[in-house]
Amino acid sequence: MIISRTPFRISFFGGGTDYPVWYRENGGVVLSTTIDKYSYLNCRYLPPFFDNKYKIVWSKIEAVKNIDEIEHPVVREVLKFLNISDGMEIHNSADLPAWSGMGSSSSFAVGLLNALHTLKGHLPSKEQLASEAIHIERNVLKEDGGIQDQIAVAFGGFNKIIFGGEEEFEVVPLALQKQRIDELQSHLMLFFTGTTKMGLKVAAEQIKNTPKKSTELQKMASLVTDAEKILFKNDSIEDFGHLLDETWKLKRTLADLISNSKIDEIYDKGTKAGALGGKLLGAGGRGFILFFVKPELQDKVREALSDLVHVPFKFESSGSQIIHYQPK
């Protein structure tokens, strides 16, 4: 039996420039971090005396005899990709819901690859996990979207991720002083607005619009540099909040489906209560919304958004890990 633990991520700046349709021509960059909320995959070889060869427990319980009968697309394709023909039992649980803008599908893919590689006796590198998860989600399953999530959750930590060139991506950890990291973390608030399955539809619309959004995407990429300067030069941390407001205003122009009247209302309530800025995480529609709020004003923001679930969190730096391994 083996258990993998893979974090969820928060993307601050540059989202959209990690789409292949953009970065292969223009390059791309994002600033992101992983947080202490995780996806867990518990995997073991299934003994041969059960009627079914594969048991998959997620939001459904699947018990099937053939790989092609598996409904969960990532499980099905990862088993094929790793040439696993033995019976397998896979259980997934998570600290946050799926379809919520936190990179959950990529956390699942990376965590499953990590667990099954290790079960087979191979310890994959973080780069291998990210690259294989990108291959499964983008090339095999043909799902629309960027490639930052797979990289962020595989590597973990507070990073600048650069896209393009021969290596496809480069991860640059931000070596910030602990005091500065703690200061930033103390100003961030995360709220849950509900789940949506519109992410792929939003991503498809954004890809279609990309040729017409060059100015916006270049500006969004430049905000990564601006944010780095704020963090390293010890400028007022509040400037980071103003940048989040700027990037949200740019992001919502990339596709009509990114925001809606409900999200606009939540954002308006949050800023009127004291938030300096924020953004909806993920592709758009619903999910988690991040606000930047001075600590002394956070009670007011919580009160203004009392109909939403507030989710406290901390940054983490480990990425995808094996937390339990018992050889068969």
Q: Please name which of 308, 317, 251 lies closest in space to residue 278, comparing C-alpha atoms.
A: 251
Residue 285 has pLDDT above 80, yes or no: no
Residue 195 has pLDDT above 70, yes or no: no
- pLDDT averaged over the chain? 94
* Domains of the chain, CATH where assigned: 2-175+317-325 (3.30.230.10), 178-315 (3.30.70.890)
Residue 293 has pLDDT above 90, yes or no: yes
Residues pairing with 43 in the sheet: 2, 90
The pLDDT value given to residue 284: 77
CA dist 135 → 128, 139, 142, 211 (Å): 10, 5, 9, 24
Instruction: Name which residue leads in pLDDT, 102 or 202.
Output: 102
Burial of 30-52, coded b for 16+ CB within 10 Å and e otherwise, reads bbbbbbebbbbbbbbebeeeeee
Residue 297 has pLDDT above 70, yes or no: yes
Q: Please name which of 33, 292, 291, 282 lies closest in space to residue 171, comparing C-alpha atoms.
A: 33
Instruction: Name which residue leads in pLDDT, 282 or 67.
Output: 67
Which of the four pLDDT bands, split at 50, 70 and 90, describes residue 198? low
Q: Mean per-residue pLDDT for 163-178?
A: 93
The pLDDT value given to residue 199: 63
Share of the chain above pLDDT 90, in %: 84
Q: Mean per-residue pLDDT for 213-221?
A: 96
Residue 176 has pLDDT above 80, yes or no: yes
Per-residue pLDDT reduced to its tens digit, 46-103: 988 888 999 999 999 999 999 999 999 999 999 999 999 999 999 999 999 988 889 9
Q: Mean per-residue pLDDT for 132-148?
A: 95
Q: Mean per-residue pLDDT for 298-302?
A: 98
